[in-house]
Structure 1
Amino acid sequence: MHDRVGAFLAERTPRRALTLLAFLLLLAAFRQLLPLLVFFVAFERGLGAAADFLVEKTRMPRKGAVLGVVAVVVALVGTGLAVGAGRIVRAVREARDLPERIGEIREHPLVKRLHEQVTDTDALVEQGKHYAGSALHYVSQVGHIVAYTLIGFIFAVVFHLERERLAEFRGSVDPKSFLGTLLRWCAHAADAVSLTIQLQLVVAACNTLLTLPLLLLLGIPHVAMLMVLIFVSGLVPVIGNLVSGAVLVFFAYQAKHWLGVGLMVSLTFLLHKIESYYLNPHLTARHVPLPGFVLVVSLVIFEHLFGFAGLFLSFPSLFVAGKIRAEFRDEDEDELAAVSHRSLDPALTSRRARIPR
């Protein structure tokens, strides 16, 4: 009985189905810890790159390089908290009031004038308020963010200090086994998180730095609050720039009327094109060779299924699915090549010819 079950599970299709099911159940069981995974991957890749650079330049032991980078990071973070803690707290407090400020936009004269022509402006305002509230909800959870940040940083440090032993353990696991496949797919998930972080941090930083001069030029108030909005919105794929741009347009109208509206709309359009046609293609083309239309449709589907969190799950899911599909395809090709090789083996051919019919 056990032999029959083992033989069944060793077949390609049941083995793939069982491994996929286990992988999905693993993600579902630990879905609440996904923010911790994000912080761990961010620190692990950052520490690794800095330590490798330091080893290359100084030829010092890698563990010493890791500890040196950790000391520099702790010193910089401590100095930053000592100098700017008050400003950070004030910015977060102002950011918490942002959804209500967006809700007040419907009383603005510009919105009332638009409402005469477009009857669903209230729905647009509510949608902007919803996304801003969802995004800033995570920012306002200071306790959770600090805890996840600290734990993720500790995990990253321990990972690099034990990297050789972890590499030995992974090398001892058969890559085609059940455990080996799960470990490899978890590594794909970490790569997807890393790529997503890189992409959205670049987009958010670009949006924030390019918008700040215009905010100062137009004399728009609450710059610190709006900078938080721009950066956080920039972390939301595709639609984040449009949401923050729609909010900034009303602040620009209050400051400089139609001149401010024209400048802010032009900047929002420019930033969206930079993200869509330059940053996204260059950062993702090497990893996910999919048309932009597929990425946008995936965003809509994931947002509908998982809400605000779906906007962040879309691209990593496509990335991991693409990696798994490539593994299955390579496995099929290797098996087909092995079968073809056996069928063309001269020894097997001559042996078959000698078998009496």
Structure 2
Amino acid sequence: MKEVKAFILRNDVQRYIALAFIVLLLFIVHDLISILLLTSILGYLAVKGANNVQRWTKIPYGFSVLIVYLLSIFVVVMAFVYIVPALVDQFAVIPNEVNKLIKEYPVIKQYFNETYHKLDLLSEFSKNWKSLLASGWDTISTVLTAFSQIILSIFLSFVLALTWQRLRVFGSQFLHSSYPKFFKNVYELGSTFVLILGSVIEVQLLIAFINTILMMIGLSILGVPSVLVMGLMIFILGLIPIAGVIISLLPLSVMAFAALGWVGMIEVWILIAVIHMFESYFLHPRLMASRTELPVFFTFATIIVMEHLLGAWGLIIGVPIVAFILSVLGVQDANITRSTKSE
């Protein structure tokens, strides 16, 4: 019995017990996992942004949070006012480019016609219109649910950032409770994961933004149409490490081939390769110097497995989760935690 008690009281066992408690808690609230992750990411970025504003302006922390969110709202509103109309105009160009591609290459038109006749879409719709309408309603419900989760997460992250200092004081009270060691492990594990997740997302956002600007400049020079639409797609897919470049290759190739032919498509491939090399050998090593580093194959395997387990979220948070596990096991150096805490 003494041996069992001594085993349970070991520091590493206590740490794994705290980890199991966190996993169990997340499993219980798994329906709210999207809101929790979004709130954590937005809250991390808001707190860090507010701290930077406070450091630069010397104004109170609460006003710094308000400035960060007001600036964010201003940017979103300006995007809708000025960018969305341009996006709509450029989306209208895409069908014209596809029609031009079909006219110039009769083989593609013949393939589309044969596929259309084989599918017999009108007959399929008349037979399965109820299930199609049901699936359409499910899609609308999913979009509305996702939108409501985003709004709720933004509100919660605002409250979290605004009351962050009070929350830290409240959390420190658990360290003086009847189980200080347990709550210390829970706090350290939770804070480590949030720091890894937040810092990786932060750097990935910066890398995606720089890559998007460079790609849009390059596509404009090459004469590819709908540059804003392509830029939006590149930025969104850029949040997926490594795999995002491969996924964006297909629509970029189609647009370049439709507008510029084989030569233009090859030029776009060269542009993607050059910018990806710039990211891999310059941007990523510099910006990720104090963050997590995983081999390319391991990153690919992580994304595939995590997408299977967690769905779309796995594409974004898969790498931070694995980096967190490696940090807990002591496999990977935890420089990320120390460097982020010092900022």
TM-score by length of 1: 0.67
Gapped regions of structure 1 (runs ≥ 5) = 56-63, 117-133, 331-357
- Of 43, 46, 59, which aligns to 2:46? 43
Q: Report the residue type matching 1:177 in the other structure.
A: K
SS of the residue aligned with 2:224?
A: coil
Contact map agreement 2:326 2:332 (CA 8 A) in 1? no
- Of 157, 160, 182, which aligns to 1:155? 160
Q: Partner residue of 1:34?
A: 37
Q: Partner residue of 2:63?
A: 68
Q: Please state how far the C-alpha of 1:102 moved relative to its aligned partner.
A: 12
Q: Partner residue of 2:195?
A: 191
Q: Please state how far the C-alpha of 1:263 moved relative to its aligned partner.
A: 1.9
Task: Please give the residue correspondences for 1:220-299 in structure 2 after superposition, counting only pairs within 5 Å.
Answer: 220-288=224-292, 290-299=294-303
Contact map agreement 2:213 2:231 (CA 8 A) in 1? no
Describe the shift of the 1:79–1:283 C-alpha distance in structure 2 as closer, same or farther (beyond 3 A).
closer
| Greater Cα offset, 143-152 or 185-194 | 143-152
Q: Please state how far the C-alpha of 1:248 moved relative to its aligned partner.
A: 1.2
| Greater Cα offset, 272-281 or 204-213 | 272-281
Q: Please state how far the C-alpha of 1:49 moved relative to its aligned partner.
A: 2.5
SS of the residue aligned with 2:240?
A: coil
Q: Report the residue type matching 1:148 in the other structure.
A: S
Q: Please state how far the C-alpha of 1:80 moved relative to its aligned partner.
A: 4.0
TM-score by length of 2: 0.70
Q: Please state how far the C-alpha of 1:14 moved relative to its aligned partner.
A: 4.9
Task: Please give the residue correspondences for 1:176-215 in structure 2 after superposition, counting only pairs within 5 Å.
Answer: 177-215=181-219
Q: Partner residue of 2:118?
A: none
SS of the residue aligned with 1:177?
A: helix
What is the rounded CA distance, in whole Å, between the counterparts of 2:206 and 2:69 in structure 1? 23
Bigger-Rg structure (1/2): 1
Q: Partner residue of 1:18?
A: 17
Q: Please state how far the C-alpha of 1:41 moved relative to its aligned partner.
A: 1.4
Matched pairs, number: 299
Q: Partner residue of 2:306?
A: 302
Higher relative contact order (CA 8 A, sep 6+): 2
Contact map agreement 1:192 1:320 (CA 8 A) in 2? yes
Contact map agreement 2:237 2:247 (CA 8 A) in 1? yes
Deviation string for 1:40-63 (max 9, x for gaps)?
1111222123223334xxxxxxxx
Pairwise CA RMSD: 4.4
Contact map agreement 2:256 2:265 (CA 8 A) in 1? yes
Deviation string for 1:50-105 (max 9, x for gaps)?
223334xxxxxxxx4323323433543454455443345557879999x9999999
What is the rounded CA distance, in whole Å, between the counterparts of 2:25 and 2:54 in structure 1? 31
Q: Please state how far the C-alpha of 1:313 moved relative to its aligned partner.
A: 2.5
Q: Partner residue of 1:335?
A: none
Q: Please state how far the C-alpha of 1:174 moved relative to its aligned partner.
A: 9.4
Deviation string for 1:241-285 (max 9, x for gaps)?
222232112111222223321221111112222233333333334
Q: Please state how far the C-alpha of 1:211 moved relative to its aligned partner.
A: 1.4
Q: Report the residue type matching 2:213 in the other structure.
A: L
